[in-house]
Every structure is written in structure tokens, then in C-alpha cells.
Homo-oligomer: A and B are copies of this chain.
Amino acid sequence: MTQGSTPETAAPAAGSTDGSPRYVVGVDYGTLSGRALVVRVSDGAELGSAVHEYAHAVVTDRLPVEGGASLPPEWALQVPQDYRDVLRRAVPQAVAAAGIDPSDVVGIATDFTACTVLPTTAEGVPLCELPEWSGRPHAWVKLWRHHAAQAQADRINTIAADRGESWLPRYGGLISSEWEFAKALQVLEEDPAVYAATDRWVEAADWIVWQLCGRYVRNACTAGYKGIRQDGAYPSREFLAALNPDFADFVADKLDQPIGELGSAAGTLTAEAASWTGLPEGIAVAVGNVDAHVTAPAAQATAPGQMVAIMGTSTCHVMSSDRLREVPGMCGVVDGGIVEGLYGYEAGQSGVGDIFGWFTRTAAPADYVAEAELRGLSLHELLTEKASAQAVGEHGLVALDWHSGNRSVLVDHELSGLVVGQTLATRPEDTYRALLESTAFGTRVILEAFRDSGVPVTELVIAGGLTKNHLLMQIYADVTRLPLSVIGSAQGPALGSAIHAAVAAGAYPDVSSAAERMGRVQRAAFVPDEAGAAAYDPLFEEYVRLHDHFGRGGNDVMKRLKALRRKAIAGKSEVVTVTADGIARGAATPREASAGGEAA
């Protein structure tokens, strides 16, 4: 389904009077759909957009081919053709919605979920599109939230720590099972034939650019954050051989590729891609990027100390700095990872809006649902309204926001949620507010880790769907004691991509100066209330005490409960797992709800 719309912020498309570059297109590839946005180069005005939902969404049950194999728990695949369809459908529709002449478009840029990665031939053909491989699960795109390579990730981390690999602290001490190396190693160990047939192991962020310009340029962002590229190098051949002798040449044979800095052009639009999109052949195609990171310039937040929190189902924090520091529990620090010339830091919270959604879906009583319907409110709006009537601390609760695990600063997905303080007088809005607050406390823990590591945060810039909850925003301002700025666009990633397109097209000298003109932010939209901030301090102390007790080994009950859960489910029924030669029966692991993506 593709839907086009003309945003309210759109100004009439003016004809070019001075021959200067006019329009760019940003395309944001999310977990379930892709969005194209047409933006005016001179001022960033959003003129038209369109969304195309992927026909195959996320493949978790069975391969989408005739007689397709069923998939084990924790698997999450996607279909490359769905990505091309965004170019074919959403881009022309956005251009039409904007009412502009396509020939006035001077550049296109994309951003993607990450690490979403696929095996291709040397020419960039996905193995899953070749008949001889399409029946093999490992030939398909592994979505960021494919979580079946934990065993490989564990081995990467153990061996890296034992060998004292210098790159490990650049990732807060832990490499995720979601990233390029763990996922590739899983392919090698579970289906060596697919691994052998893989010429290139490509981030989808770069594959889509390859489709647009016919050149494979590896972007600096994912190469660093997801590909363990640090100081111009990848993990050594010796390290890879220690993981698995057959993995020794993975970097040299399948991964290494010239790097493109963010904002530069990867190439120009091919005739084929021009025919898909309706855009002029030969316009600039920007180097690929990641949805969270590309949002920073859209919010005019590329200077040191400006941390952007993209708050949706999960939260991703990105911040640039001129200093290289090792922040415990961050996701990573990458030279030029957000803007060229600065170190880009990333941290994250695995569950934020997802937790609020889970609560309203599973714990809102029928009378609240009826009241919300009667008054034309969403359950979130109703619970927020009721929670707003409370004084800080009135609910008597404190919660840990680990329902999807903890990405920063504990980097532990075996953790889980906790609520303490409920009584027979506890109402749904009490628990809802405690969950809102728990995510703010989680953010403060991250901010304090950055401060204590010498990379202080001076401004918090919020983007993403949760900005519309003003109670939540005020809680964040009070808990962090920081002024909160709010991005001025509801389509931050697509606007950020458009900014990169403009730079790639030469309309601006660099991303920061383009952001100055094309980005939008409301500065200090929420400021800390000193009474509220003071009232939150003792609650934050309680949060930290529980955080450290349950998160740092005081009581590993959460991990043991997950192990008991897996054992209980395995005892009930068998499920399939994929082995080297196909499908075999084996012990089950529970099918958890997915953790949030970068800016999902």
C-alpha cells in the first residue's frame, strides 16, 4: 500500500528563478515501510511525502517462496524487492504530491534500519533472488532484529575480551548479536554453502545505494557502528581465525570495501533507477546512512554536547564530540559516524514506547477503554491525562524499564522489567506514569555515564513519535535537569536524508551548514521545573539502587527466570531450528517480543 500526502508544512512549489538547486528527495527505510519526502533545498520545506508498506513486512514464520522452509524463533528476515518497490512507488508519489517538476530534483539520499544485512554476488544480486539459493533461510536479508546469532556474539565477546582487542571498549565492551560479524558467523556455521556463495556481505543501507547508483560504497556510519571498523581497520585475521578457522578471511574476502563519508556522493542515479523513481538520470546519490544518525542534522543538532534522542518504540541517542572517550555501556563511538570530522557517539534504550504500548494493550481495564472511546481519546492520551493529575512520587512506585532488556549502559538483553510499590490502591495510571518515569531515569543513567567519561551532554534534542506526549517531555526535562529541544519535523529521518542529498549534490559545503538552513528545531521547548526536578531526585536514587542490584550482579534473578522460562517451554513442545543442511528439530527458546530498532 502506498499513500501520498502533502504535509501541512508544505509551501507551494516555487519555480526556480535563479538556476540554483531546487529540490532533493530523502527516503527513510523503516522496519515495516519506506517513506519518501520531497524537500526544498533552500529552506528545508517539506513539500510532499509518500509511504510504501513492504509487501512482506517482516518474515518470521516461513520463507516467502513456494514450499518455503519454516523459521525458528528469534529469526527476522526481509525481502530486497520490497526495498526497490519503495523507490518505484513512494518516490514518484511523493514527487506528485509535492506538485514539483521531477527535473528540478538534484539529489537523492537514503537512510536505513541497521544492522540489516544481506549476502550478495559480486554484482550486488541478493543470493535470495537466485533460484539455487532462494530456498535457504540464510540467503535472505537478516533484519536488525534477527536475534538468532547470540551464540556467535557471545563467542566474539569472550574471545575479544580474552585477547584484549583494542576495539572492544569502543563498543562499551560488548558486540551485539545484531551486528555484521555475529550474523555472518551464524551463516558460516549453520549454512556454509550459502557462506561460500556470498561474495559481499552488505548492509542494506549500502545495498539500496548500490541499486540507485550502480556502485558499492560502504558508508562510514554502519562500517563503524555495525562493522567494527575503527581507526581505519577491522578486527584482525588472527582474531577471526580464533572465532572459527573458516572465518579468517571474512573481512578480506567479503566485507572490506572503500568507505564513503556521510554527506558525500556515492555516485549518480543510473538510467534504471531513474526509470524506477521518475527522477533525472545522473543526479547525485548520497552515501548511505542510518535512520537515527541521519536525524541529528534534521534537528540542527550536530555540535558537540547536543544529544539527539530519537524516541519511538525504542530510543536511540546520538551525539557528536571532538573528543574520543570510552563511555561504559555505550553502543559505539565512530570517527565521522554522524558528521564528518567529529566522533559520533551512540547509546540506546531497548524499550521505551514499546513498553508504554505493551501496558496499554495488556493492562488497561475495560472501563478505561470505554472512557477513552467515549471521549475520543487514545488510551495513551487518557492514561497520560489521569497521570498528569499526580504529584511527583504520589503513586509510590518505581520501575525498571528493561522489558526489552537494557541496551545502555548495562548492555544486557537478559534483563527484564520490574515494578515495586504496588498496593491495592494502585491504579493503571499510577503504573503507567511509573513506566514513563522509568525510561526518563534510564536516560539520566546514560547522560551521567557520558558526563563521567568526559563527554558531557548540554542539550537534549528530542525527535520521534513520543514528542507529542507533553507529560513525558516534562518528566524528561525534570529528571535530567536539561532543557529539552524538540525537532520541528514529524519526519526527521527522511528530512535528514534530504539534507544529505543536498550536500551530496553540492548545494551546501557540508552537513552542518545544510542543517543550519534545512533543519528545524524548537529550542528549550520544555525546561526543568526545579520543584519537580528536586522531587525526582530521591526516586532516581531508588531507580539507581535497583538498577545496580538487578543489573550488576547483586541478584541475577532476571537471567535465571529467563532460563527457567526457556526450559519450561522446551519441556512443553519441540520447535525447529535451522542447521547447516536445512531444518532439524531441537530444543526451543521462547519467542520473545522483539526489542526496538534504532529509531523504530
Contacts and interface: CB of A to CB of B under 8 A. Distances in A.
A151 interface: no
Interface stretch (A82-90, A423-431, A502-510): A423-431
Contact of A424 (B546, B549, B571, B592): B592
A64 interface: no
Given A416-B396, A561-B542, A568-B391, A424 B358 contact: yes
Contacts of A366: 364-366, 369-370
Interface in A394-440: 394-398, 403-404, 416-428
A68 interface: no
B565 A542 contact: no
Contacts of A416: 396, 420-423
Given A364-B365, A557-B545, A592 B422 contact: no
A374 interface: no
B557 A546 contact: yes
A409 B313 CA distance: 42
Interface in A494-529: none
A240 B30 CA distance: 73
B424 A561 contact: no
B421 A558 contact: yes
A562 B568 CA distance: 36
Contacts of A542: 557, 560-561
A14 interface: no
Contacts of A539: 564
A572 interface: yes
Nearest to A546: B557
A20 interface: no
A396 B565 contact: yes
Nearest to A565: B396
Interface in A351-392: 351, 354-355, 358, 361-366, 369-370, 390-392
- Quickly give the copy total for this chain: 2
Interface in A322-355: 351, 354-355
A557 B398 contact: yes
Given A362-B365, A391-B571, A565-B393, A420 B557 contact: yes
Contact of A561 (B355, B397, B428, B550): B397
Contacts of A454: none
A274 interface: no
Contacts of A65: none
A451 interface: no
A1 interface: no
Contact of A546 (B364, B392, B404, B555): B555
A569 interface: yes
A397 B364 CA distance: 20
Given A420-B557, A549-B555, A590-B425, A572 B398 contact: no
A390 B422 CA distance: 25
A591 B423 contact: no
Interface in A217-261: none
Contact of A362 (B358, B426, B569): B426
Given A391-B571, A421-B417, A593-B423, A555 B545 contact: yes
Interface string A546-589: 10011000010110111011011101100000000000000000
A461 to B, nearest CB: 27
Given A355-B424, A538-B560, 16 more contacts: A358-B424, A391-B569, A393-B565, A394-B572, A397-B561, A398-B557, A398-B561, A403-B423, A417-B426, A418-B419, A419-B422, A420-B561, A423-B593, A425-B592, A542-B561, A546-B555
A-B pairs with lowest CB-CB distance, top 5: A424-B593, A396-B565, A417-B422, A393-B564, A394-B568
